[in-house]
Structure 1
């Protein structure tokens, strides 16, 4: 497991001259041709120095630049150095040295770059260029590894760089520096210090609205895992994944983030989740064809398969990676062969395991080229194999080599395991005194490591407590200083306030008098406006009352007109009735009777208008019902002819009600007179429906004898048909007359309300309707 965790750290550790700290990187808004063009047009001033520096930076941070081109870049930077010295421009000189050092580092010549960084630091420090000085310190730290020998010096340089950023007030670089320092503390084993540094970094990032937080989230997850706070570790790990996927989902940094989250799940024995994130990590590495990372992650994935008891799957996965991604790195080959031994032993496949032991034997002469952890892992597997196959002499041989390595490098966990191997070999060979002695050593060392781990955790907690206490004391001192400063300022301000108060009081009194004057003036204006509004309101109310009286009078006058028109129509009917007494001509008698019916239809409308509350519309269901009752009585239909009335609750104004009433009169009269000859019984159906919107259909149907076979409504000269057609045109309607098992008359029209009232309806209808001359009485 220690090897697995170390792999997680190595995926993102900053090595000598490989990649310098992120604080040193430069964003370019101009392309290389633009920079060269600007350089050619520039004068020999500080701007030219900056352009030469930018060209050098462009080449350094562009991965596609050939190494041969770097010589020309060095020449340009040397021009920038000479020009800076001539112009007495220390910032340009210092930054030129920094860029030259990075170029030499990229060429694999750190021995030339390191002195230049020292020179840059001295120049930038003397001229108080704090932001550039901070970057120079971090760049100098890049010349030191994260090994036990170098890491303390690297931390010291990082602290100096952070101090420079803090003094410069550059929060972004300060946050970057704290993140770098937190990473170094964690690599050194000072997890409590790392946690504090990283939390300060996160706080600074958030204070400036910095969004790419996945790097600091990732490190916080790792540090919390080291401190045993797995809940926080997973929370930060998931935050790192979420942020990185949103902002930078395809870079190699994603491999590190996924891998570290997988290691956290591995630590808490959530092997399925660990396997999931290890596979996501290796997917990114495969996209970038990073062979070293692919093989390192393969070891993690295989280990999770082992703990999930999916040994066959682990073996196939390991074989596929070696087949698809062959690598000649000695470290990876040793680890891969060791993994195969482990897997075949677990599967009881001793022959295959023996083969990979032979592969390790062939590489044993190169073991000194790899680190101690890798060698110990290989000797572990060899010892386990020979112990499992009862080859105790060979097992003892490799256990002794294993012990020498562990003692040489002070790897106490490995030494404890070594004592356990000795115990098993001695027990198997019957050497029980030696076995007991080795077991006692194993037990003592294991307890010692456990106590040391507990002591280290206590020490880390103590450091964390003391650091937090120190921070609180610093905050308290700062608050006290701030309080004293405020008190001094308060005394000074009190004297000023006394003088100011007098002036303010006097000014306030004057201002108050002005405000009172303005308010009084506004009050008077408001009073005048109020009186005007009251007068206007009274006038409006009087006019409204007058208008209301006029409207009421108009309503009564209209009702009176309708009443008189109705009476006049009754007189006309009486006259027609009197006239009929002196006529012997049957045709004339029929014409007079028809006219009486028509006048009655109109009279009913006027009767409804003066009897109702509203004089604007006729309630059609009531009107049609009364008209039918009138015609039933006049023609004495009795029970021989029945009426089926289907009327929607429709209200129409007079200009539509009168034509429709006359049409109904003509059609119903015709049905009563001609549809049911003799004593024949029948049914007359009257329907008036609103189909949709303002569309209406009036239908009158009977089941009588129907129309003659040669009847054509378009050519007939019948007065009734002419009336129906003319009245339909008055309301812009369409009339349809059909004969099918009786007669059907349909009138289809669109109701368009007319905002007018015309009380002389009878005369209008009589004048506008084209009657044949012989019907005029």
Structure 2
């Protein structure tokens, strides 16, 4: 009897302890959720406070860590909310460290209660953190793992989220060959969210609009402003200050970059509105003390660009330095490096050439180191890029195969065996061929990126050479030598602009000449301080030429403009210079440069270095020169082009 009583006491004691543990865990979990909701509340406007949010995140975690074996999944969820890459006020390195801690809890989660949606969300968010931090290889690994988890997702909402993540990842990773995938996925996700009401999932829809804006930048101006307007209507449903700041800074950037409504130039009103939007973004960030976010240094950089255009060089330098400091705080080496270049450029324009040279040297040193790391990294990423894309292709193949198998079953076992054999054989051939094509496409994309980077570096290095000439020129008193140095700088700049157009354009093999002549002419007029008294007219359609033709033509136009500015309009007279370039039906490329000045050039007589250079470059292009002096000077060049 005593034995039975003892066993009963043991049993009830164990049950009581288990029940007591469960009750305690429920209390802990409930308290933790209260702290978590407070942490999330402090991430919203108007009460946004990052320190308070962090405090309650830590309190929420601290409670659960007392019995972490029961709360692995809950702890991982808290770390996911705390490291949301799109709402940050921390460096990406800090977010990466926190994400690593959160993942350690998620890995301990028992298989029987695994949460594939949580794992997917965690991995995708972490992959974007890695991407922003410059760890592209690790980002690809994490994102590939997330996509493999998403294969089992069934609901339309889950699929829309995956489409949005794929679109944004492809877009932000900047794989040129995969941009079409980015647009396709973003469009599918957009259709779902807009169909279900923009107020239901505003944060998710905001990221879709963000991806579409990034995709259309420098491609389709109408689409750019269309999605900006869409995003603006969404802001009333969003309380995250970072989202509001992102909208205003990008909308401001677009306003100061692209003319509206088909206008040829940006109006003063539009320019002013763009500046106001950029300042508004900075005011939001200042109000909520958001310092560790890429929006802030980016906005300072844009503001500095505006002051550069207004020739307010001190303000430009101040804002470029703020941008540099912001990128450095975030450990964004590329952003900080670029700002060194622009600071140097601002000092150069201001006339403080010795200081400009210091910043040019900093930029050059950092860019060389960064270039080496980029090249080494890109070689290691090719295989991962192939694997990521292959998953998408295999999913499509698997769906097709399933539907085929259902049909084949109706035809009998013997026919099934035959067709399956043929399918396997065909699939292997397709896969091998497709894999080879992908490797080739990625290699081509890598080469294209490398060529763009080469053109970028050549352009920047030419600008450094130009700055060195300016530095030496400042130490020379002889005006004739100074003029010769200025002309040398303009010749270097004419070549540099060609490389700039090549890396900025979509066609690495050709330069759009109308835009090139416009930039070149504005640069030359600015160097002589003649932009107010001389009007430039480009009477030509858009025309693409290869670099071997564009560079000599640019040098010829540079010499002609320099000669015209110096001699055609004496005593500061006003005048007009007209440039025409068009292809004639007989395979002749005709360049016409005319002015309404006093009517003397001396070019056809090969007077001076400039005249000799024009003559040599004309011969190089198999061309002829004809000069007319009637109501000014008109020079006509006919170049015999090679047959296509």
Q: Same fold (TM over 0.5)?
A: no
- TM-score (structure 2 length as normaliser): 0.45
TM-score by length of 1: 0.38
